[in-house]
Amino acid sequence: MTETFRLMLVQANPILGDIAGNLGKARAAWAEAKAAGADMVALTEMFVTGYQTQDLILKPAFRDAAIRGIEALAVDCADGPAIGIGGPALLDGRLFNAFWILQGGRIHARVLKHHLPNDAVFDEKRVFAAADVTGPYVVNGVRIGTPICEDAWHPDVAETLAETGAEILLVPNGSPYHRGKPNLRLNLMVSRVVETGLPLVYLNMVGGQDDQVFDGSSMVLNPGGRLAVQMPQFDECSTLVTFRRTAEGWRAEEGEKAPVPPIGEADYRACVMGLADYMRKTGFSKAVLGLSGGIDSAIVAAMACDALGPENLRCVMLPSEFTSAHSLEDAGEAARRLGCRLDTLPIAATQKAATETLAPLFAGTDPGVTEENLQSRIRGLLLMALSNKYGEMLLTTGNKSEMAVGYCTIYGDMNGGYNPVKDMYKTRMFLTARWRNENHRPWMKGPAGEVIPARIIAKPPSAELRANQTDQDSLPPYEVLDAILEGLVEREASVADLVAEGFERATVKKIEHLLYLAEYKRHQSAPGTRLTQKAFWLDRRYPIAMRWRDGSAE
């Protein structure tokens, strides 16, 4: 009877659509596991294709290439440990999210996903069929049950596997980050362990995919919910876990227990990883952004330096007649501290030419928001020209507060390919700036120290599109604005709820109106890192043309 079982867990970063590259990673992991004397090597959900595939998986040529790749992997890795790897399966014309077990040069077993998530960023019911629950498979004498990701968020699949003889639960995942996700996963997996009495392996992928960032945090739990192994958050890595048979069943030996970073650090790293992978996976190595001397662009510049290295970031200052001297000084100082390039392109002449061109059609009207926004659109035009000329992805820098109420100019400061702070409210931007100034980590490619000047953090935010302008001219203080938005967006609270919490009804109604009015802008905005469960795009999907307003506090 087998007394030990060695399982290598691979917390890796696949590239969506790169079937050959992902299979290459799997072969390298298998070779590492073979050299380490493992019985099995496990990779994550849909690893062969990358995740989430969205409708790409419905293309027969793509799906068939993935399945052929899995079959070839089995043949190539015949003499060594078994492989568990996620990929699509096609049965009787129906497409499934599957976990393939390869051993001895053949397909040894195949598990099909039962529960298909259809909320938040997931709509797997659109592309996959739900399978019946099946029993465990056997690898080197050990009966292993595999609930695939969402299957482990419900008790029924794990209970069925336990009842049909599973001795260890192996859960492959594609679980994206949001604040508090590691604790949520831990609590759910502890529940599965307590319910079944079995040790459980939770294996999650890492890496950025469009707006989502997969954060790893893979773990191994022994019966009773005791943590035996905790793999790092966000890092690509592998670890060999040894299970030993005891009188009470299989138990994992104690191993690495990496600390889980606090939310502020995790958010920052998610933004950096999301940006770095979006650039890498879309073929960009250099970025450009408009550095205004304000906090938002300074934070994005720091993130870009940490993601790409300062040598791969171009910052551009685009002053107008309303740009203050301190903004010019602060932008220059931020670029100097980060060690990145800073160019200056004054826009006064371009603005004058545009104004003169429009003058015949604007005759008889008063200057106003249109002329203010023209400055932003000129900046967007020039930044996009630099991006186009030099192949540098333009980063946009609007925070979630601005995106929520539309205090951003479409075809102006919203221009860009990616926005790492799209899901970060303004009040958290200040906290993030202070955290980055006080902390440096090995994964950061930018310099240590106070890279965001203190004056940038302390001064009142301003778009500087007219004389003596501040954001608070037409918005409530950011601590009030963000609290109202947290209610309207994150909690779907009613106007009456927020009035009962102490906010002025007129203020709440104004913010509600701005929120709904700006929907068309958000539909055209760049993708950005998801940090919350109500990020603008897949988490929160509202119509553009609609007239409903909440009258609950009338």
Active site residues: 45, 113, 149
As a dihedral over the C-alpha atoms of residue 353, residue 355, residue 356, residue 361, rounded to 10 degrees, the angle is: 140
Give SS3 for 321.
coil
Residue 518 is encoded by which pair of tokens?
């700006």
344, β-bridge pairs: 317
Residue 421 is encoded by which pair of tokens?
């702070």
| Measured CA angle at 431 (ends 428, 432), to 5 deg | 85
Sign of the alpha-carbon torsion through 268, 274, 276, 279: negative
Residue 333 is encoded by which pair of tokens?
């100082």
- The Cα 319–Cα 329 span in angstroms is 11
Residue 52, preceding peptide bond in cis (omega within 30° of 0): yes
Q: Which residue has the tokens 């932003």?
A: 376
Residue 365 is encoded by which pair of tokens?
């009207």
**Is residue 457 within 8 Å of residue 333, measured between CB atoms?**
no
CA distances from 71 to 34, 88, 516 (A): 19, 12, 50
**Is residue 469 within 8 Å of residue 322, measured between CB atoms?**
yes
- The Cα 155–Cα 135 span in angstroms is 15
Which strand (E) or helix (H) includes residue 240? strand 237-246
- Sequence-ordered list of residues with C-beta below 8 angstroms from that of 548, at least 6 positions apart, any chain: none
Do strands 137-139 and 142-145 pair parallel, antiparallel, or not at all (unpaired)? antiparallel
**Is residue 423 within 8 Å of residue 532, measured between CB atoms?**
yes
Residue 302 is encoded by which pair of tokens?
């720091």
